[in-house]
């Protein structure tokens, strides 16, 4: 039997249709007979602060209310249910210890005030642990990392993934760029897989309200395999990640399941960890209205260093004819190696001219409330992010609707629904490794060329390589576009409609048994358009339209039953049994049309010819069973054990199911030894777990392809299998795998959590060691075998690290409070084994340097060629210095070229130039040495001040932009240059290796110490992109970033209510990414060419800049 959409949809629909009826006021009769009883009071903290948002409830009656900002609450007990009895009233709020009181419901009303003690260690709080399970925080056997709504709100990020940046140790979030709609990529505790392209599988599983959702990123360029041969996702536009469809304002809390021990409950999808978002829910009590409105002003956070002294040309001379189509074929028009620009000649600020101030507005209105039977939360949000680039095409809009409701059908049955609708629309700009990309067009512009106007008087597109176009030049390549043409004319859009959510039912047949059922669905339709106008750079010179659709539908079913039992007074335990089914279907429908008939519109119908269409689908079915048992002994020792059995259609026929066990122990040793003034709380914990990673679907099929192009060697090239009207098929270059199991991470984790100085401070320490075996690689095969790759469970990785967090609360008074949080984490990955090949590229399509897994190295190192260096160059440099192997350093052998040289010395040839290796080696590592953050907040009465520093230490970036701008002579570093107007270059003499030279460090060889001119000769050759090596452009990408800083004030005095009718008004001024301290010389060390699409990290090639923002927000509560 197959689960099909047609069977599941009616169930969801019927559940939803039933909702309005369920939400009708419960028990509308019999209330008028008796007087209601009102319980009123005030909630304050033990420091004397009025506490808002405290849930005060009578659990037995299902009644409750939320306290307002002044701490006051009121619960109305209907007269029919009040008979003078004594009830238990409980007050609870995150971050405080909950408290209960006995209150007698006497006619006329009663008053009870609560004073809540701070609970910085979150003891007693129930933590969602995934797949329908939960447990109190102190019982967790693994480190807990949660992020509260407060922290999400203060981050002021539009993207729910980006909001997590700097919030938890070893949770590294990288935003692709500062463009509106730009995706964010998340890694937890290092890379445990290589992540096959576009699968998103190198990232954690994202779960919203208990249901896994789609968080893929897809580049529209991948709809165009013909032109995208080497491009993939490193050109085209930025792309969002689909978890960005969550409105951060709807988030109540986030739990991050780090490591296999925590995530094992998600089995074969959890090897990279799990991020679980819980959205806000209504609480019983008066209806709350809240409007949060924020506006931010954004600008570029760093302008690119460009020279403005030398004009267009070559060899110190003007370029000659750059008019019309003579320009692109005249090499001298390309570069800024021309003559010195005479004083008084206008130059143009290409570093700054393409930017404007961007504005973001983000408004969310929520209405929530409920009664003893029914709660609801209804929110509507609209985000409009107008980016920092000139022109109409950088705009991200997101409208979100959310309805969360629960209804208690009877005393033991509760049903609920969490539903979200998203309308996300993005307008993007071409970027990256792309001659139609903005930064490439912009930063290569000679300083003496005015990019404006981008259209000549006759309406034709003009650029510095194609000046004075004629009206007949409409279909000719401009060499490179005018950047303002790139900003204004092409159209790149993504329009997505998505609905996701779930219906739930909770059934308590007996006091010891609870049954939970969740049926979730996630459906989206993403329509993409890439319209490249006529006169663009090849391959789109005559115009091209790519139109495509991504349709994604997922259904998730999860049924759990939990039994609880106490054994005597010292032991208690729970047993959960569960079952899950999951189906994921993806459809891709796309067409590429070439040669526009009329310049507009960008429609397939307006093109002369069409490529082979894309018409692809994938289906994945998962089926699982799991069980989890917990046992607590003497109120201090907690044991958890779980076992999951997962089946997936992506495994091969002989390995359809896999087991994933976990076990943990936590011991609150302070309960045994007693609380001490210094050590007020202490817990030791240890856990072990296994989690897996499914392969991509269909890797076990041996197939023939009718669409994969053959024989091309650079983008836009290749032959189709079909030719001249005859259908053709070629063997796929990927051989069908004969055996494929899930990747499996076995992780041991241990650590402690302690409360210090009467909980004025708490400290948490964790060590983990994760071995990932059976890592699936598209293992290279010898092409001579007939195939290029085969998916194999072949590699073994290790990730090992430490995580420390320390929170200190030195001052906690009613009027003044100050706290500081420090986090530090390190992760070292190691490729233990690759199962055969010497290296495997992470993404088969990429620029140089290639990013690879190499045995004995960290995952994802840069693997490419460098300059010849003693002791570093791989064996085989014998060809450079005949007869000698530079890899073997022989300090005392005077006859050896490296004799006496220090390790790493550059080999300099007789002319004074360094020489290149001809073999690939590890030339850099993008993984940071350690990461950390410092958070502090200060409250003085109702004024709050907070800030977050995000620190990434170490880790490298390939600055390909610099390499290219060196070659084109526009980089600031090329401003001081040798005079190359004669037969040879003269002046600006530097000896390679010297501190003032382009390459510093020890040198050796016949030309060591010989000064050479540094100018066009150097930068267009071995000193730049086209003659040099990637190793020369690897830079330190560590940074300290002022992620957040904010000042807020809350008005909740009675006059606020009287004059404007709101219970409280909060005003906040915040800054986001205001300052970055870094040695990185590009735009920003937080960037990645492959965005959130590719798993390779650390590449910058004409990436878009990052932004900084000032945010003004106003929150009105009623």
Is the CB of residue 693 less than 8 Å from the CB of residue 268? Answer: yes
By CB under 8 A, which span of 14-22, 51-59, 338-346, 769-777 interacts with other proteins?
Answer: 14-22
Looking only at residues 168 through 227 of this chain, which bind other proteins when binding is defined by CB under 8 A? 226-227
Count of alpha carbons within 13 angstroms of residue 1071, beta-carbon side: 16
Q: Which residue's structure tokens are 């939970």?
A: 516
CB of 865 to other proteins, least distance (A): 4
Instruction: Based on the shown chain and the rule CB under 8 A, indicate whether residue 85 belongs to the binding site for other proteins.
Output: no
SS3 327: helix
Near other proteins in 556-615, by CB under 8 A: 557, 559, 579, 581, 592, 594, 609, 611-612, 615
* Nearest distance, CB of residue 622 and other proteins, angstroms: 8
Position 510 contacts other proteins (CB under 8 A):
no
CA torsion, ordered 328, 329, 332, 335, to nearest 10 deg: 40
Which residue from 31, 597, 616, 1067 is in contact with other proteins, where contact means CB under 8 A?
Answer: 616
If binding is defined by CB under 8 A, does position 861 make contact with other proteins? no
In order of 264, 704, 730, 1094, the CA distances from 780 in angstroms are: 30, 19, 19, 19
Q: Scanning residues 656 to 695, which ones bind other proteins (CB under 8 A)? A: 656-657
d(Cα 407, Cα 416) in Å, to the nearest integer? 6
Smallest gap from Cβ 372 to other proteins, in A, equals 16
The answer to whether residue 435 forms part of the interface with other proteins (CB under 8 A) is yes
Give the residue with the Cβ less far from other proteins, 619 or 986. 619
Q: Is residue 708 within the footprint of other proteins (CB under 8 A)?
A: yes
Residue length, the chain?
1118
- Closer Cβ to other proteins, 878 or 987, answer by number: 878
Exposed (0-12), middle (13-18) or buried (19+): which is 895, by Cβ within 10 Å? exposed
CB atoms within 10 A of CB 74: 15
Using rule CB under 8 A, residue 527 touches other proteins:
no
Site for other proteins in 723-742 (CB under 8 A): 723-733
What's the per-residue H, E or C state across 993-1034? ECCCCCCECCEECCCCCCEEECCHHHHCCCCCCCCCCHHHHE
Interface positions, 390-409, toward other proteins (CB under 8 A): 409
Q: Is 689 exposed, middle or buried (0-12, 13-18, 19+ CB in 10 A)?
A: buried
Contacts for 883 with CB less than 8 Å, ≥ 6 apart:
none
Q: By CB under 8 A, which span of 292-300, 708-716, 928-936, 1101-1109 interacts with other proteins?
A: 708-716
1022 binds other proteins (CB under 8 A): yes
Q: Which residue is listed with tokens 């219970």?
A: 1063
Establish if 508 lies at the interface with other proteins (CB under 8 A): no
Nearer to other proteins, 610 or 941 (CB): 610
User: Counting Cβ atoms within 10 Å, is residue 296 exposed (0-12), middle (13-18) or buried (19+)?
Assistant: buried
Residue 307 C-beta: closest distance to other proteins, Å: 19
Nearer to other proteins, 922 or 951 (CB): 922
**CA proximity to 620, closest of 558, 548, 550, 552:** 552
Site string for other proteins, 946-985 (x = CB under 8 A): ---------------------x------------------
Site string for other proteins, 768-787 (x = CB under 8 A): -----------xxxxxxxxx
Give the helix, strand, coil percentages of the chain, each rounded to 5: 10, 45, 40
838 binds other proteins (CB under 8 A): yes
Determine if 17 is a binding residue for other proteins (CB under 8 A).
no
The first and second tokens of residue 686, run together, are: 């240890």
- In whole angstroms, how close is the CB of 915 to other proteins at the nearest point? 4
Distance of alpha carbon 1057 from alpha carbon 449, whole angstroms: 60
Q: Which residue among 273, 328, 1091, 1105 contacts other proteins (CB under 8 A)?
A: 328
DSSP assignment of 431-478 equals: -SS-TTSHHHHHHTS-TTS---SSB-TTS-B-BTTBBS--GGGTTS--
* By the rule CB under 8 A, 470 interacts with other proteins: no
Complex with other proteins: residue 461 or 1043, whichever CB lies closer: 461
Nearest approach, Cβ of 1109 to other proteins (angstroms)?
A: 35
Q: Which residue, 593 or 928, is less far from other proteins as judged by CB?
A: 593
Site track for other proteins across 865-904, x = CB under 8 A: x-xx------xxxxxx-xx-x-------------------
Residue 957 beta carbon to other proteins: minimum distance, rounded to whole angstroms: 19
The yes or no reply on residue 118 touching other proteins (CB under 8 A) is: no
Question: What is the footprint of other proteins within residues 905-944 (CB under 8 A)?
Answer: 909, 915-920
Q: Nearest-5° angle of CA 126, CA 132, CA 135?
A: 25
Residue count, binding to other proteins (CB under 8 A): 140
Does the protein bind other proteins through residue 697 (CB under 8 A)? yes
Q: Is 836 in the site for other proteins (CB under 8 A)?
A: yes
Minimum distance from residue 1015 beta carbon to other proteins (Å): 14
Stretch that binds other proteins, among 91-99, 147-155, 950-958, 1027-1035 (CB under 8 A): 1027-1035
- Name which of 402, 398, 407 is nearest 366 in CA terms: 402
Q: Taking CB under 8 A as the rule, does residue 413 contact other proteins? A: yes
Give whichever of 538 and 900 is closer to other proteins, judged by the CB atom: 538
Q: Minimum distance from CB of 1004 to other proteins (Å)?
A: 15
431 binds other proteins (CB under 8 A): no
Window of 245-253, 396-404, 634-642, 830-838 that interacts with other proteins by CB under 8 A: 830-838
Q: Which is nearer to other proteins, 100 or 702 (CB)?
A: 702
**CB nearer to other proteins: pick between 452 and 710:** 710
Within 13 Å of residue 643, how many CA atoms lie on the same side as its CB?
A: 4
Give the binding range for other proteins (CB under 8 A) out of 159-167, 359-367, 368-376, 535-543: 535-543
Using rule CB under 8 A, residue 837 touches other proteins: yes
Q: Cα–Cα–Cα angle for 1113, 1115, 1116, nearest 5°? A: 150
Give least dist CB 580 to other proteins, A.
9
Q: With contacts defined by CB under 8 A, name the span among 257-265, 372-380, 808-816, 1018-1026 that binds other proteins.
A: 1018-1026
**Cβ count near 392 (within 10 Å):** 11
- Inter-residue contact 931 to 169 (CB < 8 Å): yes
Nearest distance from C-beta of residue 650 to other proteins, angstroms = 8
User: What φ, ψ does residue 912 adopt, rounded to 5°?
Assistant: 95, 0
Which one, of 134, 137, 140, 185, lies nearest residue 162 by Cα? 185
> Which member of 554, 1029, 1064, 1106 binds other proteins (CB under 8 A)?
1029
Q: Does 647 bind other proteins (CB under 8 A)?
A: yes
551 binds other proteins (CB under 8 A): no
Q: CA 393 → CA 221, 240, 580, 769, 1090, distances in Å?
A: 17, 15, 43, 46, 21
Name beta bridge partners: 314.
317
The CA dihedral of 470, 474, 476, 477, to the nearest 10 degrees, is 100
Taking CB under 8 A as the rule, does residue 314 contact other proteins? yes
- Among 74, 71, 107, 70, smallest CA distance to 89 is for 74
Among the listed residues 305, 599, 712, 900, the single contact to other proteins using CB under 8 A? 712
Residue 22 within binding range of other proteins, rule CB under 8 A: yes
**Which stretches of 111-250 are DSSP H helices?**
149-155
Q: How far is the CB of 616 from other proteins (least distance, A)?
A: 4
């Amino acid at each position: 039997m197959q689960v099909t959409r047609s069977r599941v949809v009616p169930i969801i629909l019927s559940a939803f249709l039933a909702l309005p009826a369920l939400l009708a006021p419960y028990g509308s009769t019999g209330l008028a007979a008796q007087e209601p009883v009102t319980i009123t009071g005030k909630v304050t903290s033990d420091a004397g602060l009025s506490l808002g948002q405290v849930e005060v409830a009578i659990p037995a009656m299902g009644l409750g209310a939320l306290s307002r900002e002044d701490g006051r609450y009121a619960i109305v007990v209907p007269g029919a249910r009040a008979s003078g009895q004594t009830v238990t009233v409980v007050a609870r709020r995150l971050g405080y210890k909950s408290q209960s009181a006995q209150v007698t419901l006497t006619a006329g009303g009663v008053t009870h005030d609560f004073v809540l003690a701070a609970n910085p260690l979150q003891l007693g709080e129930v933590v969602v642990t995934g797949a329908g399970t939960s447990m109190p925080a102190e019982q967790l056997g693994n480190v807990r990392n949660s992020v509260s709504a407060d922290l999400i709100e203060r981050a002021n990020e539009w993207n729910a993934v980006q909001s997590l940046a700097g919030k938890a140790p070893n949770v590294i979030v990288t935003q692709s760029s500062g463009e509106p709609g730009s995706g964010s990529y998340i890694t937890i505790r290092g890379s445990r897989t290589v992540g096959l392209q576009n699968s998103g599988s190198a990232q954690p599983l994202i779960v919203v309200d208990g249901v896994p959702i789609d968080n893929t990123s897809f580049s529209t360029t991948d709809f165009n395999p013909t032109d995208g041969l080497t491009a993939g996702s490193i050109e085209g536009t930025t792309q969002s990640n689909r978890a960005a469809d969550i409105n951060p304002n709807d988030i109540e809390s986030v739990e991050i399941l780090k490591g296999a021990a925590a995530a094992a409950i998600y089995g074969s999808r959890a090897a990279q960890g799990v991020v679980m978002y819980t959205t806000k829910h209504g609480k019983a009590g008066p209806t709350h209205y809240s409007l949060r409105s924020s506006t931010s002003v954004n600008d570029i956070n760093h302008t690119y260093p460009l020279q403005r002294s030398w004009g267009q040309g070559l060899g110190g001379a003007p370029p000659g004819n750059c008019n019309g189509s003579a320009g692109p074929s005249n090499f001298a028009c390309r570069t800024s190696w021309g003559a010195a620009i005479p004083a008084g000649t206008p130059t143009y600020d290409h570093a700054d001219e393409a930017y404007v101030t961007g504005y973001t507005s983000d408004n969310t209105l929520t209405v929530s409330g409920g009664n003893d039977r029914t709660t609801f939360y209804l929110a509507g949000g609209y985000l409009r992010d107008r980016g920092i680039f000139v022109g109409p095409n950088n705009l991200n809009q997101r409208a979100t609707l959310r309805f969360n409701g629960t209804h208690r059908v009877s005393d033991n049955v509760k049903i609920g629904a969490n539903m979200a609708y998203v309308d996300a629309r993005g307008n993007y700009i071409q970027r990256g490794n792309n001659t139609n990309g903005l930064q490439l067009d912009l930063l290569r512009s000679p300083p003496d060329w005015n990019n404006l106007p981008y259209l000549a008087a006759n309406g034709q597109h003009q650029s510095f390589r194609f000046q004075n176009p004629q009206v007949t030049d409409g279909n000719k390549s401009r060499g490179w576009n005018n950047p303002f043409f790139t900003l204004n004319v092409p159209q790149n859009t993504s329009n997505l409609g998505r609905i996701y959510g779930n219906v739930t039912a909770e059934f308590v047949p007996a006091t010891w048994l609870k049954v939970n059922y969740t049926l979730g669905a996630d459906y989206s339709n993403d329509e993409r358009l890439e319209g490249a106008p006529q006169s663009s750079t090849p391959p789109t010179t005559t115009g091209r339209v790519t139109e495509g659709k991504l349709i994604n539908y997922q259904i998730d079913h999860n049924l759990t039953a939990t039994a609880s039992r106490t054994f005597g007074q010292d032991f208690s335990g729970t047993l959960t049994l569960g079952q899950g089914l999951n189906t994921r279907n993806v459809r891709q429908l796309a067409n590429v049309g070439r040669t526009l008939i009329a310049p507009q519109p960008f429609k397939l119908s307006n093109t002369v010819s069409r490529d082979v269409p894309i018409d692809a689908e994938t289906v994945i079915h998962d089926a699982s069973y799991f069980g989890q048992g917990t046992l607590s002994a003497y109120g201090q020792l907690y044991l958890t054990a779980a076992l999951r059995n997962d089946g997936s259609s992506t495994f091969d026929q002989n390995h359809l199911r896999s087991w994933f066990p976990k076990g943990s122990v936590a011991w609150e040793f302070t309960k045994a030894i007693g609380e001490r003034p210094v050590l007020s709380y202490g817990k030791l914990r240890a856990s072990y777990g296994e989690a897996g990673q499914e392969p991509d679907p269909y890797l076990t099929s041996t197939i023939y392809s009718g669409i994969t192009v053959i024989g091309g060697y650079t983008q836009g090239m290749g032959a189709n299998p079909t030719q001249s009207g005859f259908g053709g098929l070629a063997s796929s270059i990927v051989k069908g795998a004969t055996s494929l199991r899930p990747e499996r991470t076995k992780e041991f984790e241990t650590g402690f959590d302690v409360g210090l100085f009467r909980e004025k401070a708490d400290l948490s320490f964790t060590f983990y060691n994760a071995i990932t075996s059976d890592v699936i690689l598209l293992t290279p095969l010898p092409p001579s075998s007939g195939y290029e790759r085969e998916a194999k469970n072949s590699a073994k990785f290790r990730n090992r690290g430490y995580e420390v967090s320390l929170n200190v609360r030195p001052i906690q008074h009613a009027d003044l409070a100050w706290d500081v949080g420090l986090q530090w984490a390190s992760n070292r990955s190691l490729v233990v084994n690759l199962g055969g090949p010497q290296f495997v590229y992470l993404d088969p399509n990429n620029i140089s340097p290639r990013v690879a897994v190499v045995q004995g190295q960290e995952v994802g190192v840069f693997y490419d060629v460098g300059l010849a260096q003693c002791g570093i160059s791989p064996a085989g440099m014998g060809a450079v210095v005949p007869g000698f192997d530079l890899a073997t350093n022989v300090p005392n052998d005077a006859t050896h070229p490296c004799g006496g040289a220090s390790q790493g010395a550059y080999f300099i040839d007789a002319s004074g130039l360094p020489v290149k290796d001809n073999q690939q080696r590890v030339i850099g590592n993008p993984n940071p040495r350690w990461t950390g953050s410092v958070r502090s907040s200060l409250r003085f009465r109702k004024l709050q001040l907070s800030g977050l520093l995000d620190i990434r230490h170490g880790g490298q970036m390939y600055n390909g932009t610099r390499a290219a701008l060196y070659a084109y002579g526009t980089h600031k570093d090329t401003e001081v240059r040798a005079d190359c107007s004669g037969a040879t270059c003269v002046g600006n003499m530097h000896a390679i290796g010297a501190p003032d030279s382009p390459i510093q460090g020890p040198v050796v060889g016949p030309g060591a110490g010989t000064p050479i001119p540094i100018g066009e000769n150097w930068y267009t050759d071995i000193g730049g992109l086209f003659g040099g090596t990637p190793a020369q452009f690897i830079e330190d990408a560590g940074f300290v970033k002022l992620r957040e800083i904010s000042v807020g004030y809350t008005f909740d005095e009675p006059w606020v209510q009287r004059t404007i009718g709101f219970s409280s008004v909060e005003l906040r001024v915040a800054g986001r990414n205001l300052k970055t301290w870094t040695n990185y010389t590009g735009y920003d060390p937080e960037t990645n060419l492959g965005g959130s699409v590719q798993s390779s990290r650390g590449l910058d090639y004409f990436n878009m800049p990052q932004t900084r923002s000032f945010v003004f927000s106003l929150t009105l509560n009623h």
